[in-house]
Every structure is written in C-alpha cells, then in structure tokens.
Structure 1
Amino acid sequence: MSSDVATQSPPVYLTALTTMRGVAALWVVFFHMDVILFYRDFGHLMPLGDSGLVAKGYLWVDFFFLLSGFIIYHIYGGQFSRNVTGRTLVNFIWGRFSRIYPLHLFTLAVLIGFSSLLPLFLPSVVDDSWTLYFDTAALPSNLLLTNAMNQHSYLSWNIVSWSIGAEWWAYMGGMLLLVLLGRRSLVVTSGVMGLAAIFLVGLVYSRAEPTLDITFDRGFFRCLFDFTIGVGLYQFYRRSVAFAWLKKDTVFLGLFLAVVAHFHGNWHDLWIIPLFSMMILALAYNRDLVARCLAWTPLHYLGKISYSVYLMHGVWFMVFWFLLPLWASAPFSPLDRLHFGSAFLGLTLMSAALTYPLIEVRSRRYLRQKFTFPRSSLAKEKI
C-alpha cells in the first residue's frame, strides 16, 4: 500500500466508517430510551445491574466528534493544504451548513408544532419538564446553533441538537486546523493533539462530576478538543502509521471489545478517547473481513441515514417523554420494555428513512446548486 493513503486518486471511500457511524447513532438511541424509562420512573430498558453498556451510550457522541475531524480533513484537507482563497472558505462553510442545518431546522419546526398543539388536546402533559424543554427563550440559541455554549442551564427543544451546534462552531475553528496541520510533521501534529487532550482532561476535571457527559454548558469545548484530535489523527492515517498492525481484522475486533468492556465496566470516560481513535484508524485501514461485513447493504444504509436517525430520535424522545406516562404505568415488565423499545426504535428508523432523502439529501442538493462547488469536493463527501 502507498505510504500516503490519503493521496490516492480517486480518494478511498471509507465505507466502514460510515457504517460505524450508524452503529454509534443506534447506541445513542438506546441510551436515550433508557433515560426516558429511568427518569419517568419505569426502571431501565434492560436489567443492567452495575453495567454501563447502555448508560454510557452518551460517549458515542465523542466518537462522532473524533470522526468528524477525521472526515473533514479527508474531504477538505487537500483544498486547505494548497493556496486558501475566499472561495475555499465559502465552499467549506456553505458545504457544512447545507449538510447539517436543514434537518436541524426541520426537527426544530416539528417540535415547535408539537409543543403548540399537544397541550390543546392533552393539557395534562404540561409539567415542569415541559417548561424547560420547550422554553421559548432557548429558541434563538437553537436557531443560531449556540446551544452548547452555556447560554441556558438545561437542554431544550431537540435535546440532541446541542452536539450539532457544537460541531458547527468547531467547523469554524477547524478551518484554521486544516491549514495549520496540513503540511506539518507528525511531531507537530502529535503536539497539537496532546494539547487538545490536556485541555479535554482539564475540562472534565473542572466539573463536579468528572465525566464527558458535557452538553449544553461546555459542549462546544468537548467537541472542539475531540475534533482537533480527529484532524490530527488523519495525519497518521495519510502517512499509513501502524498500517500493518491496525489493518488486521483481529485488531479491530479487539478494539471494539475493549470499547464494550469500557462501557460495561464503567471505566473512566477519558479512556474512551484513545480507544475510539485507534478504532477509527483500524476501520479506515481495514480492507478484509471487517470491511466486507460493514459494507453489507443494510448496515451501510444505517450509516448513510445516521444523521437523520440521530436528530429524529430527539423528536421521538419528546413524544415518548410526555406521552408514555399517560399510556403506561410503572413498573415495566420485560414485555413492556420490549414493546416500548420496539416502538421507539421502529418510529425512529422509519422517520429517518423518510427525512434522509426528502429533507437531508434534497435540501443539501438544492442549497449547493446556489453556489458552484468544485466537483471533486462534492464527489468526496459521501461519509
């Protein structure tokens, strides 16, 4: 294999990473199912005991952030490593805006409609959580994607969209990272990644409970530090660092099992960052059995619609949060949990299968037609 895997023409389509993004999105869905049941006094989704297999699902958001930095360089790194012009910046900003904002705006509009109409028919749903989740004072920060910058003391509207806001502003800082790291040695890159890791540790330990479950308050910084590590990680990928070892199926499987063990054993959250980083490299390098399995059409499709899965499950979170107490009573039997989980998951996947082509893809194509994008940048953006 070439000593610089990222300079091949045409660039490699990293199918396995797309699929793993779908797996990550699904894991976050199960995490939020459990949140609904637990905080609405229905118990847990499954009898977990001391396991964090579901309860630690919020850590997959860090996988998204790391992967985002990695993929942003994969798509745009070549442009930023050359002469950066105003057009380069416009292409980048408009490309990212058209990728994330239309679906975010759609889910926000759906929840505005939901919060306006439901009390007319079921006034009993309005409780303390209603006034927090659907606080009109939080609408501007959701519209401007500043909902991960400590503007409010709670999650609001589509509660998962804080990560979209965090990622959007990380993109703005990411433009500088793409320029600075593009032609640097691995020593400089490692130094930048090390600084990001130190800042991330400081962020975690600045909190009363030292975890990575940082959302509406300082979620932007959580994303920025992860994103920076992801951009740096790509410099290792493009130079094929540890390729001979990480490309092996057994190495990826070992890393994935280590991630599962991390979740199950409730290890400290920060250990997930190196595990996810190595797993991203392993998936990017792999061309054998793991890659073929992850290219299976249903799994790959899940990866393609993962952004819709992620945002739409935030809508269904609100629906079940407020309506489940009206439909059911505690305690939940195993069959009740199965029915709840099947309904939540089924509705999420079906709605995502609709919003992906009708909102996400269609809006992105329409908005990008308003500007002339280099064909190469559009062709690469499949992940």
Structure 2
Amino acid sequence: MQHVPTTAGKAEFKALTSFRGFAALFVVIFHYSGDFLPNLDFAPHTAFVGKSYLWVDFFFLLSGFVISYAYGHQFAGGLRWASVKQFAFARLARIYPLHVAVLLGFLLLELARVPLHAAGLVALRPFSFDMSPYLLMLNLGLLQTTALAGTLSWNGPAWSIGAEWMSYLAFPLLALPLMRFGGRRCLLPVGLGILGLAVISGGGRNLDLTYNLGALRCLFEFLAGMALFRLHASLQLLPLRRDGLTALALAAVAGTLHFDIPDILVPPLMALLILALARNEGTIGRALSWLPFLRLGQISYSLYLVHMLLLQATLTASQVLLGQDIGRLLGPGASLAALLLFLAALIPIAALLHRRVELPFQQALRHSRFARVHIYGVAAAPRAGLT
C-alpha cells in the first residue's frame, strides 16, 4: 500500500487520501480478527471483514492512479535515464525507511525470543520457518513476492510493498504508451488488468495472492490504475462529481464484500470508486476532507506496516505471562473490546512512526550527498513539492 504523492502546484486528492486510511483500517481489522481473536467471528453476520484482504487491491489501483498523476508527465514524451533514476530513487526513499524500521522491530522481537525459548516460555524456535535469516534478506531486498520465497515471512503485510516496488520499476515503460491514451481507449488497459487477475486467480474466485503471485496481482491492478488516471484526465465524467454515483460505488463495493461475491468483481467496482472519489465535489468529498480523516490517510502506510509487529509482540508477551495466546481466553464481547483497544493504540503508534521515521528519513535520503551527486547531479536537487 502506498502514499499518495503530490507535486508542487498540484492539488491533493483529499477524498482518496482519507479513504486510504479507512482501507488500511479494514485490512488491520481483517488481520486482528482472525487467529489472533478467534472468538470474534463476524462470518455469521457479514463476509465484509473476512474479505477485507481485498482492500489491498484498492491500494494497488490507487497507487497506479496517483503515481501516474504525480510522475506520468515525466515519461509521456520518452524515456530518459535521468528521469527513470530520479523516479526510482524517490519511490525507494518513500517506502524503504519505514519498511526497514519495522523489520528491525521484528528482528529485536525475535532476538528477545531466544532466551525465552531457551527457558521454555515460547514454543516456536526463533529464526526458524517464516522468520529465517534467508527470508529476512529477501525482505530487505524487497524480493518477498518472487519465486525465491515460498511463504509469507517476517512482516507478512509487507509482501505488498515488495510487489509495489516491482510495479514502480515497470512504471516508466508502462507510462510511455499509456500517458498518450485518452477517452475510452483507457478502458482497454483496465480490461487487460482485470483479465490478468482472472487468469492468475483461476477464474477470479479468490484474489488472496501474496508471496506467490502477489507481484502480478499488483502489476495488473497498477496498470488498471494508470489507465484510470488517463480516463480521469481526458474525460469530463460529469456524473462522477455528484454524491449519487459515489454513494452507489461505495454501496456496490461494500455489498460485494458483505455478500461474498467472487473476488474478481471487486476491483472493477473499486476502480469506479476511485474515479468517483477523485471527482466528487459534493457532501461526501467535503466530509472526507475533514482534517482527522486526512490525518488518518496520511499515516495509513505506517498503520499498515506496523500493525502486525504490535500483534506479534502482544502474542509473545501473552505466551510468557499466560502460557498461551491471550485471544483464546477472551469471549466475543471481550474480544471486540480488545480489538478496539488495539486500534486505539495503533493509531498513535502509526502517527509517531510517520512523524519520526517516514518523513525525516525520506527527506534525509532525498537530500543526501549520494542523492545530490549520483541521482540528481551536483547542481540539481529534488523538487521541493514531490514526496
């Protein structure tokens, strides 16, 4: 999942920024209400929570849309090595510091488990199975969605960061033809992206593809998101400015998740939702421009990356103190209260990481001597408004 970049002189899509925060929360609830809180079972009432792994598809579509908005013009006229290099470095500076910081947190937790395992307080041997040193190296290299890894590992949700990095590397080549597309021609890449999803998911019933085919899942949706931006930029799409179509798109996405409709139908509806939110000039757009919602969207990358570390730290502590996972001791009501407490704790943790890791390390990398000399040239500097 990814941050919405902005350029100096370009307006931010505030509704999309805010909604990205809600999508991140849906993914967090999906992970927290599974094995962690086994007595919190939403399935008899709705499939929405159990299907919320599909909000990662929203992130991939949105990433293609906003990356095209921020950077597409650089490659519309052709490929220049300087532009490719600067784009790739800017994206790496954006995603990598927090990724490494959270991996460091997992590493420290795993080291803490060594004496605990020796004392018989935790069962699973540290640095084994999905927490092996080899898989750590793959995660550090953003290679966790390649054929080199056979499982989700270390910070499981970060598989999507490795997948997005692959799409970033493909972006300049994809932008070369796509940034010239206009009108209904843009629907062709969207259709190709959906077709690709159907192929890799065996007909589209289940798109929960991560370490195995996650890079392709991301690439197909990133491509569709790029075409969505061209559709947005080249057509008036006047009905999308009104609340009615935005509300319909929201209801359609929520309904497909609630009623457990085959996964392949969800990304096209999410694509419509992105277009509607980007264009909305009504009450929904104004509501999503509310500052607390914007702040939630701005910290969504931290929220997404750190939530599993908080969960694993809690599980380790409960195994030491209680002899088992705490979630198994909680009834439905207590489990729901625990979920709300975790969300309440997670948001300030994510805000702190956003302020102390994401932003300062991104800026430090982009203004480093290495960047000035090898990326931007001695006399050049990264443009102030691009993040």
**TM-score w.r.t. structure 1 length?**
0.89
> Which of 157, 160, 165 does residue 162 from structure 2 map onto?
165
Cα distance in 2 between the residues matched to 1:342 and 1:119: 31
> Displacement, 1:86?
1.8
Deviation at 1:317, TM superposition (A): 2.7
Q: What is the letter of the counterpart of residue 29 of structure 2?
A: F
SS at match of 2:71: helix
1:86 maps to which of 81, 95, 99: 81
2:136 is equivalent to residue 136 of structure 1? no
- Structure 2: distance between partners of 1:251 and 1:90: 40
**Which residue of the partner structure matches residue 25 of structure 2?**
26
Say yes or no: does 1:112 pair with 2:112. Answer: no
Residues 246 and 252, structure 1, Cα contact 8 Å, conserved in 2: yes
**For each residue in 1:194-213, what CA deviation from the matched residue of structure 2 results, as whole angstroms up to 9, or x when unmatched?**
2222111100107xx94110
* Cα distance change on mapping 1:379 and 1:259 into 2, 3 Å: same
| Deviations, residues 146-169 of structure 1 (Å, cap 9, x unaligned) | 101232322110010000000001
In structure 2, relative to structure 1, the CA distance for the partners of 1:254 and 1:184 (3 Å cut) is closer
* 3-state SS of 1:343 partner: helix
Identity across the alignment (%): 31
Residue 316 of structure 1, aligned match among 310, 320, 334: 310
Counterpart position of 2:3: none
| Structure 1 runs (4+) greater than 4 angstroms displaced | 372-378
- 1:342: Cα distance to partner? 2.6
Q: Of 206, 212, 224, which aligns to 1:229?
A: 224
Distance 1:109 1:14, change over 3 A: same
The count of residues paired between Structure 1 and Structure 2 equals: 367
Worse-superposed segment, 180-189 or 120-129: 120-129
Q: Distance in 1 between matches of 2:244 and 2:384?
A: 34
8 Å Cα contact 1:125-1:323 kept in structure 2: no
1:43 paired to 2:49: no
Please say if residues 110 and 126 of structure 2, whose CA atoms lie closer than 8 Å, have aligned partners that are also in contact.
Answer: no
1: CA distance between counterparts of 2:192 and 2:125? Answer: 41
Structure 1 residues 210 and 338, CA gap change in structure 2 (3 angstroms): closer
321-330 vs 72-81, which moves further: 321-330
SS in structure 2 at match of 1:124: coil
Q: What SS does the corresponding residue of 1:51 show, helix, strand or coil? A: coil
Distance 1:186 1:341, change over 3 A: same
CA shift, 1:329, in A, is 6.5
| Structure 2 match to 1:341 | 339
Could you tell me whether the CA contact under 8 Å between 1:13 and 1:380 is conserved in 2?
no
Aligned pairs (5 A) from 1:168-247: 168-186=165-183, 188-205=185-202, 210-241=205-236, 243-247=237-241
After superposition, the C-alpha distances for 1:121-157 in whole angstroms (9 at most, x for unaligned) are: 4643232897333122211210111101232322110
| Root mean square deviation of aligned Cα | 2.3
- The separation in 1 between residues aligned to 2:364 and 2:325, in whole angstroms, is 41
Residues 93-126 of structure 1 show CA distances to partners (whole Å, capped at 9, x for unaligned) of: 0110000000000000110010011342464323
- Cα distance in structure 2, aligned partners of 1:205 and 1:129: 36
Specify the SS of the correspondent of 1:125: coil
Asked if structure 1 preserves the Cα contact closer than 8 Å seen for 2:114 and 2:126, the reply is: no
Question: Would you say the 8 A contact 1:145–1:168 is kept in 2?
Answer: yes
8 Å Cα contact 2:98-2:302 kept in structure 1: yes
Q: Which residue of 2 aligns with 1:256?
A: 250
2:350 paired with 1:352:
yes
- Partner of 1:379, secondary structure, is coil
TM-score by length of 2: 0.88
2:56 aligned with 1:61: yes
Report whether the alignment pairs 1:265 with 2:280. no
- Unaligned regions of 5+ residues in structure 1, if any? 1-7
Matched residue type, 1:51: T
Distance in 2 between residues matched to 1:173 and 1:329, nearest whole Å = 42
Give the Å deviation of 1:225.
Answer: 0.3
| Distance in 2 separating the partners of 1:128 and 1:213 | 28
Shift of 1:246: 1.3
Is 1:369 aligned with 2:367? yes
Displacement of 1:327: 5.8
Deviation at 1:181, TM superposition (A): 0.7
